[in-house]
Amino acid sequence: MPLNDPVIAEQTPAADFTIAQKWKRYTEDEHDIWNTLYAQQIDVLKGRAVPEFYDGLAALDLNVGGIPDLAKLNPKLEALTGWEVVMVPHLVPDDVFFDHLANRRFPAGRFIRGRDQMDYLEEPDVFHDIFGHVPLLAQPVFADYMQAYGQGGLRALRHDCLKNLARLYWYTVEFGLMKTKDGMKIYGAGIVSSRIESVFAVDDPSPNRLHFNLERVMHTDYRIDDFQQVYFAIESFEELFDATQQDFGPLYEKMSQDKHIHPIVDILPSDKIYTRGSQAYANNGGRLQSHKR
């Protein structure tokens, strides 16, 4: 829980964990951190993100400067896809998170990272959540996918299969790539909001880049503390939405019997390969170890 945000500390969250944004209470310094991160990401992404991402930034006026005011952002987002952004104090329990998504509400952290955490932080802040996630919520097919994910999440909790569904979220919403006619592009929020991973994910020879497959993804482990060793690429948001329009019940049945998890770096005979990675980055110890040196 970010203790340095007094506007969070003074509030008692509602039953659904939401709090008021109190936009006027953001300091000049906090807006300045947003602007620094924003300018940096626009520069580093330079055509590396899917066109829908840039369309969303423009349609929602996220480019006007400063931490967005939900009172201004939400009417625009609601008019486009019926989604709304709500503020939460920190990570919320899985069932609460899924219930928000199932009702087309995206929970975003209110706080913004400090200048000492510009490149890495453990909990999602307002920059990751709004810059990273919200532009694509203006895209109708992706917006429907996120709602379906929330509905599926509530069902997965009942089947005790949350781990499998969390992998789907990880490899699509957070770290998804799209193979377009102009090459490999980023749509995952975890990449789009990260200065170094936005280059690594599309340009580095280390990671595997494989075509997205629902069951494959739900059987593949992931790492939360360093760059991904495998990315999965879709060819369109329609492909992603259609793949998840089936009843996951039988899949969960199968998975509860078959506990086999693919090691992150394996390439299977059934995989469609875009890039066979060298894994040089991971084999050299990755970011965390090199930091310790």
Contacts with Fe ion, residue ranges (CB under 5 A): 124, 189
**Shortest separation between residue 278's beta carbon and ligand HBI, angstroms:** 29
Report which DSSP code applies to 123.
S
Q: Does 121 bind ligand HBI (CB under 6 A)?
A: no
Among 56, 107, 132, 176, binds ligand HBI (CB under 6 A): 107
DSSP string for 203-226:
H-SSSEEEE--HHHHHTB---SSS
Rounded to the nearest whole angstrom, what is the least distance from the CB of residue 131 to ligand HBI in the complex? 14
Measure the N-to-C terminal CA separation of the chain; round to a whole number of Å: 29
d(C-alpha 198, C-alpha 123), whole Å: 19
Q: Which of 62, 67, 87, 92 binds ligand HBI (CB under 6 A)?
A: 92
Q: In one letter, which amino acid is 248?
A: F
CA 65 to chain centre: 22
- Two structure tokens written together for 34: 């947003």
| Cα–Cα distance for residue pair 90/228, rounded to 1 Å | 24
Q: How far is the CB of 139 from ligand HBI (least distance, A)?
A: 19
| 124 contributes a contact to ligand HBI by CB under 6 A | yes
Which residues in the 129-168 window bind ligand HBI by CB under 6 A? 166
Smaller CB distance to Fe ion: residue 148 or 265?
A: 148
Asked whether position 169 contacts ligand HBI by CB under 6 A, the answer is yes
Residue 112 in the binding site for ligand HBI (CB under 6 A):
no
Q: Rounded CA gap, 223 and 204, in Å?
A: 17
Q: Judged by CB under 6 A, does residue 88 bind ligand HBI?
A: yes
What's the DSSP call for residue 143?
H
Closest CB to Fe ion among 152 and 188? 188
The residues of the shown chain that bind ligand HBI, judged by CB under 6 A, are: 88, 91-92, 94, 97, 107, 124, 166, 169
